[in-house]
Structures are given as C-alpha cells and as structure tokens.
Structure 1
Amino acid sequence: MEIQGKIKMIGTTQSFGSSGFRKREIVITTDEQYPQHIMVEFVQDKTDLLNSYQVGQPVKISINLRGREWVNPQGETKYFNSIQGWRIEAAQAEASGGMPPMPPADAFEPAGNLNEDEHDDLPF
C-alpha cells in the first residue's frame, strides 16, 4: 500500500531496551477534501531513510499495516494497529488526465492576419 501527502512532522530516532530496537515516526498530511494526519513509523535500519526529507516536502510512502493482540493483567484482550513504512520517495507532480503539461503561451507562434483574398484549403 502507499500513501501520499506532505510531511507535517519528522520525529527523532528513539531506542528501546537493551536489544537496540529503533523507531522513528513521521506524520503525513494527505491532500484530499478532508485532509488526514497519518502517523507512519519506520523501524530499525529504515529509520535512516527519513534523514534526507524535510517538513513540507511532498512524499509517497510505501506502508504495511500491522496488528497486535495483547491480554492485559485483568484478562481483557486488546488490539492495536500500526502503520509501518518501508520506503519513502519524493512525490512527483502528476499532470491531470495523464496528459503532458501545456507549454506556456509565449512558446507558440502568433497566428498571422489573413486577408479575405487569402483562403486556406480546409473544407469547413
């Protein structure tokens, strides 16, 4: 799966436990009618992927959804979800409808003035 948006926040790398588990969070704001602020976590060696990105930059992140089950001391089962990123790249501006972008107006040669005596060969 992929999500696209602008970077709202990039967290610092956090280390947990004696095993050296590392995690870094990033928040992406989607560009849609009702923008969403989605937190994605990068773990272990993937935390370094965020080093070359800045707040405000449009990106595309490849993600996996993760789910965990946990039974608390009272015996209640709880479920937790996380969004884990594994690739990030700068988003490219896409032209609408798959068409190439229109060149600026000054790139075209102006049409010459046609006299009534000059006719073209078009049948209409």
Structure 2
Amino acid sequence: MMRAKLVGASLALVLIAAPAMAEDWDFVLTNDTGKTVTQVELSPAGTAKWAAQRTDEGVSSEVKNGNDWTVHFDKSKDTCDYDVRLTFADKSTVVWTGLNVCDNAFAEFSYRNGNPVIVVDDD
C-alpha cells in the first residue's frame, strides 16, 4: 500500500514538472502584400519569441504575391494568439499582430492605409 502511494506521488510530481508540449498546427496564409515572401515566423503574441515555420527539406517556402501557402508550426498550449513576421525577397520584414490560430484556418496578409492587417475567413 505504501509503495502504491509513493508511485502515485512520484507520477504526480513528474506530471507537474513536465513542460507544456507543443502541438502540430497550421493555417493557410494568403499573400496580398505586393511582395514575395521568403520566410514566415510565428511568436506567441507580444513575446517576440520567433520560430520559423516548419518546412520539408528541399521545399521552397517562397510565396509570391497573390498566392496561398500552408504554414506549419508548433502551437503552444498556452495561447491561440500569434504574431506573424514575414520576410520579403528584398530582405525587409514586417510583423502582423494578433492572429487567432485556434479560430482561423485562413488568413490574408495585406496592408490598409500603409498598416499591416490580417483579414480572416471564418469558414
């Protein structure tokens, strides 16, 4: 009986100490920026902890203006809201903020009045 309590207590400590595991996640990015995207990075909103999207070796992640791209990344269990940083062929970068990846499978990245905006399709 005492052994069972020790095993149960040890298991509870392991579960408490275990880090939150990331989940495989994706969304479709539509590039309406007027430029070719060469890199997509995501960060939990407001943290600036950028991680590049996952790509298969040998597959180009270049997204020409007007095209769609499925972005694969590891989603944290802690948040659904992400900032997205796009790097363009001219080496410039722009950050779009507040994409809710839990509720939106499709997101169009563009500019309105010179400001980066994300238009989501809830379908």
TM-score strictly above 0.5: no
TM-score by length of 1: 0.24
Larger Rg: 1
TM-score by length of 2: 0.24
User: Comparing both chains, which one has the higher relative contact order based on Cα–Cα distances under 8 Å and sequence gaps of 6 or more?
Assistant: 2
